[in-house]
Amino acid sequence: MNPMLRRLLAHRGALLGIAYIVLLAAAAIFAHLILPSDPLAQDLANTLDPPSAAHWFGTDELGRDLMTRAIYGARTSLITALGAVIIAGLIGVPIGLVAGFFGGWRDAVLMRLVDVLLALPGILFAMALIAVLGRSQFASLLAVGITGIPSFARITRAQVLSLRQRDFVTAVEALGGSSTYTMFTTVLPNAWSPILVQVVILSAVAILLEAALSFLGVGIPPPTPSWGDMLRTGKGFLYEAPYYAVLPGIVLTLTILSLDTLGRTLSRLIEDRQSAEDGP
Amino acid sequence: MIAYILRRLAQFIPVLLLASLGIWAMIYAVPGSPIGALVGENATPEQIAAITIRLGLDQPILVQYWRWLLAALHGDLGHSIQSREPVLDLIATRIPATLQLGLAATLVGLLVGIPVAVASALKPNSLLDRALSGWSALALGVPTFWLGILLILLFAVHLHWLPSASAYFPLISDPIPALTNLALPALTLGLYISGIFSRFLRAALLGELHADYVRTARSKGLRERDVIGRHVMRNAMLPFVTIVGLSLANFIGGTVITEAVFTYPGLGRLLIQAIGVRDYPLIQGCILFILAIYITINLLVDVLYAYIDPRIDYH
Amino acid sequence: MAVPVVSVRGLEVTFVGAGRPLTAVRGISFDVAAGEVLGIVGESGSGKSVTSLALTGLLGPNARVRGQISLAGIDVIAADAETLRLMRGRDVGMVFQDPATTLNPVFPVGRQITEGQIAHGTLRPERAPARAAALLREVDVPDPAARISQFPHQFSGGMRQRAVIAMAMAGHPRLIIADEPTTALDVTVQAQVLAVLARRQRETKAAVILITHDLGVIAEVADRVAVMYAGRIVETGPVAEIFRAPRHPYTAALLRSLPRIDADEARLSTIPGQPPHLGRLAGGCSFRPRCPLGQARDICASDPPEHDGVACHFPGEALATLPRPAPSKKPEAQTGSPLLEVADLRVEFPIRTGLLRRQSGTVRAVSGVSLSVWPGETLGLVGESGCGKTTTGRAIMGLIRPTSGSIRFAGQEIGGLPRGAMRRLRRDMQYVFQDPYSSLNPIRTAGEIVAEPLRIHGLHAEMGGDAYVAGLFDRVGLPRATMSRFPREFSGGQRQRIGIARALALQPKLLILDEPVAALDVSIQAQIVNLLKDLQRELGLAYIFIAHDLAVVHHIADRVAVMYLGRIVEESDKATLYARPLHPYTRSLLSAVPLPDPAARGGGRRIILEGDIPSPARPPSGCAFHPRCFRASPLCATDVPAFAAHATLPSLVACHHPMEAAP
């Protein structure tokens, strides 16, 4: 087994985080097989029922099973996060790679463009984009993805810049390696670790952002189940059904905390390995 | 110093121009005609004619943008479709509320974040450090909107101590209602900010604690509290100032959610309402205004940093 | 002898952490008396720096210290934190290695110098500025009254270290501990700092513990020496005795492995193997695996030797077993045409400032360098930091675009070559880097790294594939079994061998070696130098050997060029240059090298240059060396001297007033 993965699994917090995410993802993927009820099935005879053996999380104002909706909400969240991270990575990493490797005018132009994306707090940028595109799952995914571009671009650029200073990159150039060769066989393979950490961290950010957008009522439109929307609706029944806004929030919070722990553990392991490699 | 400020300002200009171009281009990207986006779908022909001429919508696109930008620089952000009031007036009425919330939350963030970071960094990997790091992870990981709901459940629904929806009262004229209404939103946002502050400051302090000059300071026989309090703190504070500044620049991003949770009448609520009814001039105005604040604070942070770090030569 | 200032008995330091406890210092004892300088010498990992931190109670909480330390009457190991704090600055002052990081960057220098005294209540704050200025004056910092309010980044390296010395001396401590105080400095600046340290020590009668890896520095300033190896003191004694007749085989081997500017040797003696890992020490004598005496003797494997001046079961045999290598043969005369000809090479970097990033100045890193290298010879390129030697090497290699000048390789101008031709040419010219930790791709195996040049040029199969790569490993003395390992699994010396194997892969004619041994311990340095000499003989390679260490260059080079601020100021064959330097800078540089020979101490041979090396962004007018030169005339400030052949010696020199007499 990869020594990095072994050390990661030796860390209790990271292990719990991975276990939770794997469990959640499995539940989300196989939701239709393991759950008896439909997330959209209404039962107007049993609205706002407190948690019971039949409905572990209780029911909502239309009598829908809240746990079923929370698990289908995980599907929405994870798809949005995955799509957003892919968009952000596919655009951000090449920007950072080119800007950092070549420097000069390419760097200036690309990073100014990235600065534009950073000129607004991420959530406002996403809201503005959704204001233009209209509410849909794709719009949420795209908006969250685009707000993630700058962090990928900046992390990659910083990493590439520091690698550029290292003699082993200069050595490849001295050997006659072309820019493309140097960039893809020497620089990029050494730049992966912090990008990987960023993938984990950004997944958490994306899930949080998607939930926030839905909570604000500009994210994924109902009746598609989403955690943010459940909290938004649940907030209207704080006196009648306090569990409504509390229980899905726990699922969401645990997801964020798991990814955050995982990201921080990974980043510490990479730091340790780096200092071991750099020698005395 | 002046030249330095001007140079930093010059670096922001392309960003400002590009971002404003993007904001302006919004009305072309939305479905329907740009005029419809600006005056609403059920506008009278007279209104359409007036706006067409005022904004020069018959002109080439870049000319249109330029005129819009010039008007914006003169404070003319157009009129809201919903209320027909000037956008700038609508924004102006909401600024005090948002500012009060943002500053109160930042204060909470500093008061909680700095002690947590210092206590944590003094004994790295101790039980206390782990507990406090866990606390920071919670502060960052618990979504503010959910934390807000929990606080409402506890303090409003359960204990009846504080209102569940917060109104705005100026702190200066009405301190008591201002505080009771501000307590929960400021705590909600402030705890999140404290997580950012404590995590960053802890890392900065730990980085500095291993620096050679710390060993030098100890070798001179300085008291440990002076080694930490003067030498280490002074160095760790340099990057920390940037983080506090960035957090201030971002505070509207944070207040948007908090204002929604507590139905607090700030700028963020205005923007959400505007998006809800597709009031594009109001959306554009809000975003442009937030952009201007963001860039101004960033600039101030840069200048402040150059001022407090002796190594930066701003000449 | 009077009561010693510091007395150490049976000191042991163990670090406990996540892994197995690591004992860095394993029972050492020594005394230092007032007015005495004890030199502690050892390679990296020998425990010398840990010892110094233990003396002052500055080790971290994960260190377990045992034994006895009595410093100015204080029992350091038993003392509480407050006693130790009061001891520091009052009884003991410290000077650390890197003056760039020792001072706090955000406080003025003056405040940092007097801070300790204020904390001890021996100086009233209002008197601090005057006191700081006085202390700076004592360490020869010019214009001290203005300097006290400046920040560390406004000081040059040498000045910073003098400020640190002033700081260490501020409280009139009875003991100064200087841990590698000149390692980060250039040799002419090192001479200044050592002179200041020695003078202040005489003036204050303080005891000094000088920790260094440099035997030359020890010979220069120490009264007594303690040689450390693997956490033990293996030999102690008066400096003259140890250098003349070392009794421990390690001391003897260390002295023999040192290249010297005052002797000729064909080949350096080496110490085989690596310094031991402290976590994996065998029983018995820790030096036995590398010792020529102990290999076949059971007692060395079973019993750790007792320390009685020397920790060896067979003291005194060391001298007999290690014959002095024979002097080297005269180099053959250059024949044929040069392999590399560089003419008037210039490399300039713009400095941009202001609102519009206009170019406001130019860093002249290399300003008119001309040199030639013949097949099979070694040209040494020496100079201090910032002189442009590395930039010259990188420009020749095509890694930096020259501003102007011509570079001809094997008769062909390579300046304007198209990409393809330049790529082919790169096969004949290769580069070896200084830092073996940074020059190897951490995610490739050693075998892949050495094969990479073949793959880039599409020659892997043609040259013989894996078998050829394995042959390269043999050639540089690395076991073939290590081909599948990653760089982090190698020691510094082994990594440098990998770097050399990579450079040899394309069978080049010229190697540019950029400080290839500067990052290595003395015993490893000798192994690499010998390897380079062997390869040159076997493969007929030409070298450009870039270095700041004049002794290493003296050992390996046939001809030597001395650079100062972007120019070559003198070039000659090795014997002439070292014996009869013509340029005052060459002369000062040579005199500043500390000789590992206490007998050569004093005698007025040393020329200590004033001031620091100017910035290449603002080189002085005329001869760039004139502000620091002891022979400068008004002419030197206005006219740039021509780089011209000398009338009688086979030297080229750029000086209006060259030295004539042999030194």
Residue A278 has what pLDDT?
Answer: 56
C249 pLDDT above the threshold of 70: yes
Q: What DSSP line would sit under B116-174, residue for residue?
A: HHHHHHHSTTSHHHHHHHHHHHHHHHS-HHHHHHHHIIIIIIIS--S-SSPPP--TTT-
Read off the pLDDT of each residue in B11-30 and give the average, rounded to a whole number: 79
Residue A63: phi and psi, rounded to 5, are 80, 10
CATH architecture of A76-278: Orthogonal Bundle (1.10)
- A188-216 and B251-261 helices, crossing angle to 10°: 40
Cα A114 from chain centroid? 19
Domain residue spans in chain A? Answer: 76-278
The structural domains of chain B, ordered by start, are 16-76 (no CATH), 89-308 (1.10.3720.10)
What is the gyration radius of the CA atoms in chain C, in angstroms?
26
**Residue range C325-360, pLDDT digits in tens:** 555 554 555 667 889 999 999 998 887 765 455 677
Q: What part of C 377-406 touches A (C-beta under 8 Å)?
A: 397-399
For C70, the enclosing helix (H) or strand (E) is strand C63-71
For B207, the enclosing helix (H) or strand (E) is helix B175-209
| Chain C residues within 8 A of B218 when measuring between CB atoms | 58, 85, 88
Of residues C86, C93, C102, nearest to B213 (C-beta): C102
Residue C283 has what pLDDT?
Answer: 78
Candidates A127, A136, A200, partner chain B, best to mutate (most B CBs within 10 A): A127
Chain B positions contacting chain C at CB under 8 Å are: 3, 6-7, 10, 211-213, 215-224, 226, 231, 234-235, 238, 309-311
Structure tokens at B163: 């209102």
Residue C356 has what pLDDT?
Answer: 54
Residue A155 has what pLDDT?
Answer: 92
> Cα angle at B23 between B17 and B24, to 5 degrees?
85
The residues near C142 (Cβ < 8 Å, ≥ 6 apart) are none
Q: What DSSP line would sit under chain A, residue for residue?
A: --HHHHHHHHSHHHHHHHHHHHHHHHHHHTHHHH-SS-TT---TTSTTPPS-SS-TT-B-TT--BHHHHHHHHHHHHHHHHHHHHHHHHHHHHHHHHHHHHH-HHHHHHHHHHHHHHHTS-HHHHHHHHHHHH-S-HHHHHHHHHHHHHHHHHHHHHHHHHHHHTSHHHHHHHHTT--HHHIIIIIIHHHHHHHHHHHHHHHHHHHHHHHHHHHHHT-SSPTTS--HHHHHHHHGGGTTT-HHHHHHHHHHHHHHHHHHHHHHHHHHHHHHHHHHHHH--
Least confident of C6-10, C18-22, C468-472, C656-660: C18-22
C495 pLDDT above the threshold of 90: yes
Question: At C324, is the pLDDT very low, low, confident or very high (cuts 50, 70, 90)?
Answer: low
Q: Does A175 touch chain C (CB under 8 A)?
A: yes
Question: Which carries the bigger pLDDT value, residue C152 or residue B294?
Answer: C152
Structure tokens at C209: 């513990």
CA atoms A27, A28, A29, A33: torsion sign: positive
Residue C357 has what pLDDT?
Answer: 59
Read off the pLDDT of each residue in C306-317 and give the average, rounded to a whole number: 80
From B247, B150, B261, B236, select the one nearest B192 (Cα to Cα).
B247
Q: d(Cα C537, Cα C72) in Å, to the nearest integer?
A: 57
Q: d(Cα B245, Cα B294) in Å, to the nearest integer?
A: 10
Tell me if C498 sits within 8 A of C516, measured CB to CB.
no
Residue C500 has what pLDDT?
Answer: 95
**Hey, how many other C-beta atoms are within 10 angstroms of the C-beta on A1?**
6
C111 pLDDT above the threshold of 80: yes
Of residues B19, B30, B254, nearest to A119 (C-beta): B19
Read off the pLDDT of each residue in C531-542 and give the average, rounded to a whole number: 92
Least confident of B67-76, C40-49, C52-61, C243-252: B67-76
Read off the pLDDT of each residue in C425-453 and give the average, rounded to a whole number: 90
**Residue range C602-647, pLDDT digits in tens:** 655 678 887 778 888 888 888 989 988 888 889 998 888 988 888 8
A238 pLDDT above the threshold of 60: yes
| Chain A residues within 8 A of C502 when measuring between CB atoms | 171, 175
| Chain A residues within 8 A of B291 when measuring between CB atoms | 119-120
Read off the pLDDT of each residue in C452-467 and give the average, rounded to a whole number: 89
Q: d(Cα A48, Cα A240) in Å, to the nearest integer?
A: 8
Question: At C84, is the pLDDT very low, low, confident or very high (cuts 50, 70, 90)?
Answer: very high
CA atoms A138, A144, A150, A153: torsion sign: negative
Candidates A163, A167, A271, partner chain C, best to mutate (most C CBs within 10 A): A167
Residue C55 has what pLDDT?
Answer: 92
Read off the pLDDT of each residue in B131-150 and give the average, rounded to a whole number: 89
CB contact under 8 A, A112 and B18: yes
Residue C336 has what pLDDT?
Answer: 78
Alpha helices by DSSP H, listed for C315-380, are 317-321
Q: d(Cα B192, Cα B189) in Å, to the nearest integer?
A: 5
Chains A & C: contacts with CB separation below 8 Å: 65
Read off the pLDDT of each residue in C91-101 and give the average, rounded to a whole number: 89
The structural domains of chain C, ordered by start, are 33-57+81-222 (3.40.50.300), 340-573 (3.40.50.300)
Chain A's closest residue to B272, CA to CA, is A216
Least confident of C190-194, C372-376, C610-614, C629-633: C610-614
CA distance C123 to chain B (A): 14
**Residue range A92-142, pLDDT digits in tens:** 999 999 999 998 888 888 888 888 888 778 888 888 888 888 888 888 999
Residue C230: what residue type? A
Residue A280 has what pLDDT?
Answer: 42
Residue C320 has what pLDDT?
Answer: 56
Question: At C7, is the pLDDT very low, low, confident or very high (cuts 50, 70, 90)?
Answer: very high
What percentage of chain C reaches a pLDDT higher than 90? 40
Question: At A8, is the pLDDT very low, low, confident or very high (cuts 50, 70, 90)?
Answer: confident
> Cα angle at B86 between B83 and B88, to 5 degrees?
120
Least confident of A145-159, B39-53, C9-23: B39-53
Tell me the β-bridge partners of C75.
C70
Question: At C88, is the pLDDT very low, low, confident or very high (cuts 50, 70, 90)?
Answer: very high
Read off the pLDDT of each residue in A257-262 and give the average, rounded to a whole number: 90
| SS3 assignment, position C270 | coil
Least confident of A166-170, A234-238, C178-182, C650-654: A234-238
Residue C317 has what pLDDT?
Answer: 74
Residue A225: what residue type? P
Residue C133 has what pLDDT?
Answer: 93
Percent helix / strand / coil, chain C, rounded to 5:
35, 20, 45
CB contact under 8 A, A131 and B26: yes
Q: d(Cα C440, Cα C421) in Å, to the nearest integer?
A: 26
Chains B & C: contacts with CB separation below 8 Å: 85
First vs last C-alpha separation in chain A: 28
Mean predicted lDDT score pLDDT of chain C: 87
CB contact under 8 A, B26 and A122: no
Residue B293 has what pLDDT?
Answer: 84
Of residues B149, B276, B287, nearest to A231 (C-beta): B149
CA atoms C469, C470, C473, C475: torsion sign: negative
B314 pLDDT above the threshold of 70: no
Structure tokens at B247: 């957090």
**Hey, how many other C-beta atoms are within 10 angstroms of the C-beta on C143?**
11
A194-213 burial, b at 16+ Cβ within 10 Å, e below that, comes to bbebbbbbbbbbbbbbbbbb
Peptide bond into B175 cis (omega under 30): no
Q: Does C441 touch chain A (CB under 8 A)?
A: yes
Least confident of B130-144, B228-242, C269-283, C542-556: C269-283
Residue C209 has what pLDDT?
Answer: 95
Q: Does C453 touch chain A (CB under 8 A)?
A: yes
Read off the pLDDT of each residue in A150-159 and give the average, rounded to a whole number: 92
**Residue range C17-39, pLDDT digits in tens:** 767 888 899 889 999 999 999 99
Question: At C498, is the pLDDT very low, low, confident or very high (cuts 50, 70, 90)?
Answer: very high
Q: d(Cα C486, Cα A277) in Å, to the nearest integer?
A: 10
Residue C608 has what pLDDT?
Answer: 80
Q: What DSSP line would sit under C386-415, residue for residue?
A: TSSHHHHHHHHHTSS--SEEEEEETTEE-T
Mean predicted lDDT score pLDDT of chain A: 85
Tell me if B189 sits within 8 A of B101, measured CB to CB.
yes
Q: d(Cα C475, Cα C469) in Å, to the nearest integer?
A: 10
Residue C663 has what pLDDT?
Answer: 44
Q: Does C62 touch chain B (CB under 8 A)?
A: no
CB contact under 8 A, C354 and B226: no
Residue A264: phi and psi, rounded to 5, are -70, -40
Question: At C143, is the pLDDT very low, low, confident or very high (cuts 50, 70, 90)?
Answer: confident
